[in-house]
Amino acid sequence: MDEECCDSGCKPCVLDPEDGDIPDLLNYISGEFLPARCEEWLNDLSPATGMRIARVPKSNVDDVNSAVAAARKALPEWSSLSHAQRADWLDKIANALEERCEEVAQLESLDTGKPISLARNVDAARSVTNFRFFAEEVRNFTAETFDMENATNHVVYKPVGVAGLITPWNLPLYLLSWKVAPALAMGNTVVAKPSEMTPMTASLLAEIIDDVGLPSGVFNLVHGHGEETGAALTSHSGVDLISFTGGTATGAKVASSAASSFKKLSLELGGKNATIVCADADMEKTVAGVVRAGFLNQGQVCLCGSRILIEESIYDDFVSRFLTAVEAMKIGDPADPETDLGALISADHLDKVSGYISLAEEEGGVILTGGITPEGIPKQFENGNWLSPTVIDGLSPNSRCATEEIFGPVVSIHAFSDEIEAIEIANATQYGLAGSVWTADLDKGKRIAQEIDTGMVWVNTWLHRDLRVPFGGVKHSGVGREGGRWSLSFYSHAVNICIHND
Ligand code: NAD
């Protein structure tokens, strides 16, 4: 195997000498599949093996300009369609995506390193559902009227214009479809910029959109680095709206870049979510739920409960059962349907997560399990990004490891004495995305939930999603809400027309 300096990071990537037939993914602009104009490429690496699995266009401002011009050109005709006509297009995309569901799952598992079972049941399934859900939402969408004594107000929802949609690597098509579907439904045209680390299913979506014959320029896809391609999109004067999902530090850059041209903006950012386990919780169900909340997708979900707060009186018993369940998870080959945990997204990210584990030890933490490369990882995965699920005890709830987003299979556990202390610890972070409370007393669960400063809280469950409800964070976890009618409202301008009756 040769080593080559990889364009997508400072780490060398491993080249398989037989990878001559790896695919070149292409941009999709005005109905054409194109390389970057500069003809430069980025390497897409497998998280599980470190091997190059595709090349991606290293697009720059020229490609973004072409994509935005195509989207602007397509806007008048697309925005003049009725809600029902656009809903029919979304259904066509959903149907075509559903036919290729298994391919979506395979590509997502390959590109992200996540277990195939998760890619099938969550990523692929939800991507289809997103298109179908927003088709139905927009079909049933009714605008308000407000009667006065001598006038009637009619609220009209107009498309915003060209939507720039920027997405991260942890749930690639799941999150991209969550933006593309409502943006198209409300009559906007789209320029999408997926993560350069997980470009595969965005390219598959472009293929599907081309196959169903969506008018050219309505959906455009530009691959590339965030600092180059993403930044060209957020600062572009021809883009009217940015929906961004990603890290908080990037979100700040996106916000300041979009601000000077007053783009409509939605930011879905990082999280450091608390899981509060009360003494009266059903132990068996709670252990299973807390393990899932902590480690789904290798802990790389913005909603993951990575700070586990446990009521003092059950601390030892809960921790012992929790550790048993964590250690029973099967880590390894993402393609194996029995696998619970796959690889982390990149070598850089593994370094970042491992750095936090070292920091935890400096901050007085004790690693109860994990923190190492898992034993028995097969030889073909030895250059992948592997970390065993890690549980840290003994940290102050105000320590960096307990308050900063690690975004890996790492949780810290903390004891609390009463509700007030649990709420205080839960709120002791700059983030405010989500949380969960586990208790047999539903009034108490609701009471605690209302005191946690986040956009979403679950009681006795986690990541239990109804697509009609608002989704988003407070504090440094984001600005704005998406989901159901909140998405339809974000991807449109509400205009009031007041007609005098006399
Ligand atoms: P990231 O911020 O590094 O990148 C996200 C996207 O932004 C990528 O497409 C990237 O290329 C692009 N980008 C990077 N720099 C840019 C710039 N200057 N201008 C424009 N675009 C730029 O995030 P990531 O590492 O891909 O994803 C992980 C983060 O995403 C975590 O913090 C996680 O919590 C967060 N996340 C949040 C949610 C949510 O709904 N709140 C969901 C998933 C992930």
Show me where the domains of the chain are located.
Answer: 59-269+478-495, 274-465
| pTM for this predicted structure | 0.96
Mean pLDDT of 53-68: 98
Q: Are strands 12-15 and 27-29 parallel, antiparallel or unpaired?
A: unpaired
d(CA 196, CA 351): 19
Q: What is the pLDDT of residues 332-362, one digit of tens each?
A: 999 999 999 999 999 999 999 999 999 999 9
Q: Evaluate: CB of 166 within 6 angstroms of ligand 1.
A: yes
Nearest-10 Cα torsion for 407, 412, 414, 420:
0
CB 143 within 8 A of CB 186: no
What tokens does 497 get?
């027309």
Residue range 265-314, pLDDT digits in tens: 999 999 999 999 999 999 999 999 999 999 999 999 999 999 999 999 99
Higher pLDDT, 458 or 20: 458
Q: Does the beta carbon of 269 lie inside 6 Å of ligand 1?
A: yes
Residue 13 has pLDDT above 80, yes or no: no
Q: Print burial letters for 17-35: b (CB count within 10 Å at least 16), e (below 16).
A: eeeeebeebbbbbbbeebb
Sheet containing strand 241-245, edge to edge, reads 32-34, 27-29, 219-221, 189-193, 162-166, 241-245, 264-268, 478-479
Is 268 designated active site?
yes
What's the CA gap between 485 and 457, in Å, rounded? 19
Q: Percentage of the chain surpassing pLDDT 70?
A: 96
Report which DSSP code applies to 19. Answer: G
Report whether residue 247 contacts ligand 1, using a CB cutoff of 6 Å: yes
Q: What is the secondary structure of 45-73 as a DSSP string?
A: E-TTT-BEEEEEE---HHHHHHHHHHHHH
CA of 349, closest atom in ligand 1? 25
The pLDDT assigned to 250 comes to 98
Q: Would you state the pLDDT for residue 502?
A: 81
Q: What is the pLDDT of residues 198-247, one digit of tens each?
A: 999 999 999 999 999 999 999 999 999 999 999 999 999 999 999 999 99
Of all protein residues, whose CA lies closest to atom 42 belonging to ligand 1?
302
Q: Is 302 a catalytic residue?
A: yes
Beta carbon of 196 within 6 Å of any ligand 1 atom: yes
- Distance between CA atoms of 198 and 258, rounded to whole angstroms? 24
pLDDT of residue 9: 38
Q: CB of 196 within 8 A of CB of 226?
A: yes
CA angle 302, 257, 431 (to 5 degrees): 25
Domain 59-269+478-495 has CATH 3.40.605.10: yes
Q: Is the pLDDT of residue 315 over 50?
A: yes
Q: Which two tokens stand for residue 394?
A: 């003994």
Tell me the residue type at 323: L
The fold of 274-465 is: Aldehyde Dehydrogenase; Chain A, domain 2 (3.40.309)
Q: Decide: residue 369, CB within 10 A, 0-12 exposed, 13-18 middle, 19+ buried.
A: middle
Atom of ligand 1 nearest to the CA of 247: 32
Output the residue whose Cα is nearest ligand 1's atom 21.
230
Please give the helix or strand (H or E) that residue 79 lies within, else none: helix 61-79
Residue 185: CB within 6 Å of ligand 1? no
Protein residue with least CA distance to atom 34, ligand 1:
270
**Cβ-based neighbours of 324, under 8 Å, separated by 6 or more:** none
**pLDDT-based confidence at 492, cuts 50/70/90?**
very high
Distance, CA of 200 to CA of 208 (rounded, Å): 13
Going by their DSSP bridges, the two strands 390-393 and 410-416 should be labelled as parallel
Q: What share of the chain is helix, strand, coil (3-state, %, to 5)?
A: 40, 25, 35
Give residue 333 CA to ligand 1 midpoint distance, Å.
26
Interhelix angle 172-185/101-112, rounded to 10 degrees, is 130
Ligand 1 in reach of 199 Cβ (< 6 A): no
Determine the pLDDT at residue 18: 56
The answer to whether residue 11 scores a pLDDT higher than 60 is no
Q: Using a 6 Å cutoff on CB, does residue 254 contact ligand 1?
A: yes
> Over pLDDT 90: what percentage of the chain?
95
What pLDDT does residue 5 have? 37
In angstroms and rounded to an integer, the radius of gyration of the C-alpha atoms of the chain is 23
Q: What is the pLDDT of residue 107?
A: 98
Q: Is 190 exposed, middle or buried (0-12, 13-18, 19+ CB in 10 A)?
A: buried
CB 456 within 8 A of CB 306: no
Residue 473 pLDDT = 98
Give the chain's mean pLDDT.
96
Who contacts 186 (Cβ-Cβ below 8 Å, separation ≥6)?
Answer: 138, 157, 159, 160, 488, 491, 492
pLDDT of residue 21: 78
| Nearest atom of ligand 1 to the alpha carbon of 195 | 9
Catalytic residue (choose from 108, 137, 196, 268): 268
Q: Is the pLDDT of residue 122 over 60?
A: yes
Protein residue with its CA nearest to atom 26 in ligand 1: 168
Which residue puts its alpha carbon closest to atom 15 of ligand 1? 226
User: Which ligand 1 atom is nearest residue 225's CA?
Assistant: 11
pLDDT digits (tens, 9 = 90+) for 436-452: 999 999 999 999 999 99
- What is the pLDDT at residue 16? 54
Catalytic residue among 302, 304, 401, 405: 302
Hey, what are 392's tokens?
């840290």
Q: Tell me: the pLDDT tens digits for 65-105?
A: 999 999 999 999 999 999 999 999 999 999 999 999 999 99
Name which of 140, 79, 88, 439 is nearest 290 in CA terms.
439
Span 349-376, average pLDDT: 97
Separation of 60 CA from ligand 1 center, angstroms? Answer: 18
Amino acid at 170: N
Give the pLDDT score at 19.
Answer: 61
Gap from CA of 246 to ligand 1 centroid (Å): 2
Residue closest by Cα to atom 37 of ligand 1: 269
In terms of residues, how long is the chain? Answer: 502
